[in-house]
Amino acid sequence: MLEFCGKRCSNTKHLSFLSLLCVLLIAANPVQIRAAQEVEVTYTGNEGFMIVVEGKKILIDAFHRLGDLKHQELLQNGKPPFDDVDLILTTHTDHDHFDLHMVGHYLTNHPKSLFLSTKQATDAFTKYYKNFEKIKARLKGFAPEEGERIHFSHEDIDVTMILLHHGWNRKVKVTNLGFLFFIGGKKFFHMGDSEIVLSELNIYNLPEEKIDVAFVPYWYFTSEKYKPALQKGIGAKQVIPMHLILVDGGPQERLRIMNRIFSEFPDAILFSEEMEKSVIQ
Ligand SMILES: [Zn+2]
């Protein structure tokens, strides 16, 4: 809509009238006619990503000690491209998704950044982080019940958290959050290490959310147990498989799984190297 107005306005004699019409339409209802923005997604290993749109930055499951030390340093110290992040989201406290000291260091040096995660994660800061007092106001911990949606807004980013269980058979009960977030006219969904199946996922009616981009663990692409949740329970326009660096069986198996995903889901956006970027229209 905005582009249409711009082109017509510059090519006709009705410049002032159409310009005025554009301004009035924008003023009357800025949300409905706002075009979706270009989104830049940067992969930080395992299930970690940075999403940048309209000058807003979100890091999700990005702070872990896997992969290249240089990238860990950039993250921990908030060096470009990881400077001035608005929100740090963490789905759960497993080491391949969350390093308390990396996040703590970042928050200590970036007083405008907020941390959203489980209550288990924020409790860990209380116990184990020496500068807890300095960052505690920006630690937001949540423990949604099954079927519940918890909403949080910050700097024009709307976040919804839901409980997506992390497997019923594990010895230690780790709360795993699913994050829905709306930024730059697009809706994103990150599942963390969910092991939820379709019959359990249906409680959230996710297809009604009209998700643009879903970050989904690879087992939802390869296992007959989980595929129905991906195909019927999410309804995303674009999907990004993740958790591929920790595939049992090493690099060869990882490559085999990536090829398998690519052959069955050719439109999936596959990241293979840390710091790889993709621009999503
Ligand atoms: Zn994991």
pLDDT tens profile 17-72: 434 443 444 444 444 445 567 899 999 999 999 999 988 999 999 999 998 899 99
- Give which of 174, 171, 173, 180 is closest to 207, Cα–Cα: 180
Mean pLDDT of the chain: 87
DSSP for 225-256 reads TTHHIIIIII--SEEEEE-GGG-TTHHHHHHH
How far is ligand 1, taken at its centre, from the CA of residue 96, in Å? 5
How far is ligand 1, taken at its centre, from the CA of residue 174, in Å? 11
How far is ligand 1, taken at its centre, from the CA of residue 98, in Å? 9
User: What per-residue confidence (pLDDT) applies to 171?
Assistant: 64
How far is ligand 1, taken at its centre, from the CA of residue 46, in Å? 8
Q: What percent of the chain has pLDDT over 90?
A: 75
How far is ligand 1, taken at its centre, from the CA of residue 100, in Å? 15
Residue 214, token pair as written in the block: 């879903």
How far is ligand 1, taken at its centre, from the CA of residue 239, in Å? 18
pLDDT exceeds 80 at position 12: no
Instruction: Give the tens place of pLDDT for each residue, 149-206.
Output: 999 999 999 999 999 999 887 767 899 999 999 998 899 999 999 999 999 999 999 9
How far is ligand 1, taken at its centre, from the CA of residue 63, in Å? 12
- Give which of 217, 186, 187 is closest to 47, Cα–Cα: 217
How far is ligand 1, taken at its centre, from the CA of residue 35, in Å? 35
How far is ligand 1, taken at its centre, from the CA of residue 91, in Å? 10
How far is ligand 1, taken at its centre, from the CA of residue 179, in Å? 15
User: What per-residue confidence (pLDDT) applies to 35?
Assistant: 59
Between CA 219 and CA 237 the distance in angstroms is: 19
At the fourth CATH level, which superfamily is domain 86-272?
Answer: Ribonuclease Z/Hydroxyacylglutathione hydrolase-like (3.60.15.10)
How far is ligand 1, taken at its centre, from the CA of residue 92, in Å? 9
- Between 5-9, 236-240, 253-257, 261-265, the lowest mean confidence (pLDDT) is in 5-9
Instruction: Give the tens place of pLDDT for each residue, 116-126.
Output: 999 999 999 99
User: What per-residue confidence (pLDDT) applies to 25?
Assistant: 43
What are the phi and psi torsion angles at 7 (to 5°)? -65, -50
Number of neighbouring beta carbons within 10 Å of residue 233? 21
Task: Tell me the Cα Rg of the chain.
Answer: 20
DSSP helix/strand/coil, 18: helix
How far is ligand 1, taken at its centre, from the CA of residue 94, in Å? 6
pLDDT exceeds 70 at position 1: no
Pairing of strands 39-45, 277-280: antiparallel
User: What per-residue confidence (pLDDT) applies to 28?
Assistant: 46
- Give which of 74, 37, 43, 39 is closest to 60, Cα–Cα: 43
- Between 3-17, 71-85, 199-213, 219-233, the lowest mean confidence (pLDDT) is in 3-17
Cβ contacts of 276 within 8 Å, gap of 6 or more: 42, 43
pTM of the model: 0.85
How far is ligand 1, taken at its centre, from the CA of residue 183, in Å? 25
Cβ contacts of 32 within 8 Å, gap of 6 or more: none
- Give which of 102, 77, 72, 60 is closest to 215, Cα–Cα: 60
How far is ligand 1, taken at its centre, from the CA of residue 26, in Å? 43
Helix locations, the chain, DSSP H: 2-11, 15-28, 69-76, 100-109, 119-128, 132-135, 198-201, 219-222, 227-228, 250-264
Number of neighbouring beta carbons within 10 Å of residue 222? 18
Q: Within the chain, which residue ranges are assigned CATH 3.60.15.10?
A: 86-272
- Between 20-29, 96-105, 123-132, 237-246, the lowest mean confidence (pLDDT) is in 20-29
